């Protein structure tokens, strides 16, 4: 008698799920186990040769690491949490991913299926708490569907550039299921190609930039793959450029026509360019503060792949729903070279003046130190492929202003959600993703204390991350806001801590720095690799000084400020040598009505 029964191998459902992650190119997963996640921890043990588990000391760290990895690489980041408190702890990092449009998958444990809906130990209704943060939010209903649901979750996270959450009852992971599921990664069609521009609209955009007296190219991360085209169009039409803060690194910071950004996380030439422009090519960005710096009657050309973003921040004279790179290429094909234009020359001079002012500050020998000195040392030892993970607060202003970046380097922060404590977790992800690259985490003392326990994670996995702590003993960013509100400082003072000693107690290399000589010696040690494969924490005592508020400069008397106001501002911020944009414009035969109009919109901000 012939036996025609086909034999099918079986596999634990959790092992099948990990195989799906591997098929999608996932190399590691961040999390902290709990009893409800035992079946998946068993699978991670079984597949330890092909999937690295990174044990963090708090689930928030794991979620922030997954989010940071996704932002840095564009590939999905994976984190997990156990039932109840572990799941809740994930939320902050997942909201960071949601706001910055990063593809992240969170695997969330649930109590065994037979105990669900019985008010069991650590049982909560998990789907509702993730409803707002997730683009895909499902509870697995049978063991056999576990790999399929996870596969679908990854597809949804990629398609919608957001968070997918899969809740897994504990017992399903242990169950034996047929080992027949085939991940759909090879069938998933991903594209970076977006709508092609209309040639007539591209020609009109060129005409508007050519006819303008003060044209400006304002780009964001949507143009991150178009650095060559941005520079070429700027050179051909003699148009200065600026970017959203997250556009930093697309072009070299020392590109003469690149003014950095406007706003509070900004440079003086960036703010000056935005306020002075009469025609703006706003391409690949949805920067929310545009309306505070671009004058209302400026002609506005917006290029974006999202129809709903066209006109969201400023009235639009010409809207183009198209890919940024393709639009720039078409504009280059149409544009005719122009010789020197006064506004271009104005902004180049303005940036040169700004850089000279910064240069004079980088070796100030003070105690506590000036923050410019710290970034001079970071720039000195930073390698051409360094990764900078930046926390939130004054450290954001300082990093995006003072890091002298190259396009071969990377920078990341919590941009839209702006959660403190993101830098150290993201540095863990960066070092795991690129073991051979130099990784910095740069934090204030406020943000660092939220996550400093995970220096242990850096130690455990031999991650030589360079952790810089800018220790000013205050929540400086909030302190400045309270100053602007003319209120007393309340709740912003932080008691001192010795983070160098704390780092050594955790197994890292720690430095306490309060003088310029100590600062240079610490960075010399790091540059020489004396920490080996151990992380470094450099605790730098800096003055609790507000970064120069480039959005509120008072460099010359006007309708709202007297000479005494100017003298007080210049003295407070040591702004001697900074030339008002009005003076530079006048030197090139341009009037300054645009600047005054835009300044009035930001008065008091």
Which residues are part of the catalytic machinery?
Answer: 59, 121-122, 264, 392, 477-478, 481
**Cα–Cα dist 605/603, whole Å:** 6
What DSSP line would sit under 287-330, residue for residue? -TTGGGTS-TTSEEEEEES-GGGTTSSS--SEEEES-HHHHHHH
Kind of pairing between the strands at 387-390 and 318-321 = unpaired
Distances (CA, A) of 175 to 50, 142, 166, 171, 179: 22, 9, 17, 7, 12
**Cα–Cα dist 36/85, whole Å:** 11
Residue 179, C-beta contacts closer than 8 angstroms, at least 6 positions apart: 8, 9, 10, 11, 16
- Environment class of 130 (CB within 10 Å of its CB; exposed 0-12, middle 13-18, buried 19+): buried
What is the torsional sign of CA 26, 29, 34, 38?
positive
What is the torsional sign of CA 37, 39, 40, 41?
positive
At 55, list the tokens: 């044990």
Which secondary structure element, helix H or strand E, spans residue 77, and what is its range?
strand 77-81
What is the arrangement of strands in the sheet containing 28-31, beginning at the earlier edge strand?
52-55, 28-31, 77-81, 104-110, 163-169, 134-139
End-to-end CA distance of the chain: 88
Instruction: Give bridge partners of residue 387 from the DSSP assignment.
Output: 410, 439
- Environment class of 560 (CB within 10 Å of its CB; exposed 0-12, middle 13-18, buried 19+): exposed
At 31, list the tokens: 């999390």
Contact yes or no for 152/17 (Cβ under 8 A): no
* DSSP 8-class letter at 214: S
């Amino acid at each position: 008698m012939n036996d025609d029964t086909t034999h099918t191998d079986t596999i634990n459902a959790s092992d099948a799920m990990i195989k799906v992650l591997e098929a999608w190119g996932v190399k590691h997963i961040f999390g902290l186990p709990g009893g409800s996640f035992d079946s998946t921890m068993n699978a991670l043990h079984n597949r330890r040769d092909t999937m690295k588990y990174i044990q963090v000391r708090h689930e928030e760290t794991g979620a922030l690491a997954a989010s940071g990895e996704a932002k840095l690489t564009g590939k999905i980041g994976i984190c997990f949490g156990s039932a109840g408190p572990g799941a809740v702890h994930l939320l902050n990092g997942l909201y960071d991913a949601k706001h910055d449009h990063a593809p992240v998958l969170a695997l969330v444990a649930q109590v065994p299926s037979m105990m669900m809906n019985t008010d069991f130990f650590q049982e909560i209704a998990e789907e509702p708490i993730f409803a707002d943060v997730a683009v895909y939010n499902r509870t697995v209903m049978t063991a056999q569907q576990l790999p399929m649901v996870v596969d679908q979750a990854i597809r949804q996270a990629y398609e919608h550039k957001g968070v997918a959450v899969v809740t897994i009852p504990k017992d399903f992971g242990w169950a034996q299921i047929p080992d027949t599921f085939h991940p759909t990664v090879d069938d998933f069609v991903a594209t970076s190609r977006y709508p092609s521009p209309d040639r007539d609209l591209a020609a009109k955009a060129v005409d508007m930039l050519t006819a303008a007296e003060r044209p400006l190219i304002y780009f964001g991360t949507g143009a991150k793959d178009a650095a060559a085209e941005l520079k070429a169009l700027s050179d051909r039409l003699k148009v200065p450029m600026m970017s959203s803060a997250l556009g930093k690194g697309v072009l070299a910071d020392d590109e003469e026509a690149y003014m950095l950004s406007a706003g509070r996380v900004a440079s003086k030439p960036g703010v000056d360019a935005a306020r002075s422009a009469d025609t703006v090519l706003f391409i690949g960005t949805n920067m929310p503060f545009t309306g505070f710096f671009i004058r209302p009657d400026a002609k506005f050309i917006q290029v974006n792949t999202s129809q709903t973003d066209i006109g969201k921040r400023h009235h639009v004279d010409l809207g183009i729903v198209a890919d940024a790179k393709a639009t720039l290429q078409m504009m280059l094909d149409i544009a005719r070279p122009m010789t020197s234009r006064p506004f271009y020359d104005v902004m180049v001079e303005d940036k040169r003046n700004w850089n000279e002012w910064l240069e004079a500050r980088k070796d100030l020998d003070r105690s506590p130190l000036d923050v410019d000195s710290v970034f001079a040392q970071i720039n000195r030892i930073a390698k051409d492929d360094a990764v900078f993970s930046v926390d939130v607060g004054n450290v954001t202003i300082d990093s995006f202003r003072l890091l002298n970046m190259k396009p071969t380097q990377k920078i990341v922060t919590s941009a839209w959600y702006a959660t403190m404590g993101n830098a150290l977790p993201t540095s863990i992800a960066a070092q795991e993703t690129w073991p051979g690259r130099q990784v910095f985490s740069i934090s204030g003392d406020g943000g660092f204390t939220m996550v400093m326990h995970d220096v242990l994670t850096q130690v455990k996995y031999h991650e030589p991350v360079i952790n810089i702590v800018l220790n000013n003993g205050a929540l400086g960013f909030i302190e400045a806001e309270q100053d602007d509100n003319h209120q007393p400082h309340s709740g912003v003072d932080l008691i001192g801590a010795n983070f160098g000693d704390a780092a050594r107690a955790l197994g890292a290399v720690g430095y306490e720095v309060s003088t310029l000589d100590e600062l240079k010696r610490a960075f010399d040690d790091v540059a020489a690799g004396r920490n080996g494969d151990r992380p470094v924490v450099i605790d730098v005592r800096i003055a609790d000084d507000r970064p120069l508020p480039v959005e509120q400069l008072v460099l010359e008397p006007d309708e709202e400020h007297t000479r005494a106001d100017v003298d007080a501002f210049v003295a407070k911020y040591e702004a001697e040598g900074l030339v008002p944009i009005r003076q530079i414009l006048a030197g090139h035969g341009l009037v300054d009505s645009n600047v005054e109009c835009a300044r009035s919109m930001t008065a008091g901000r």
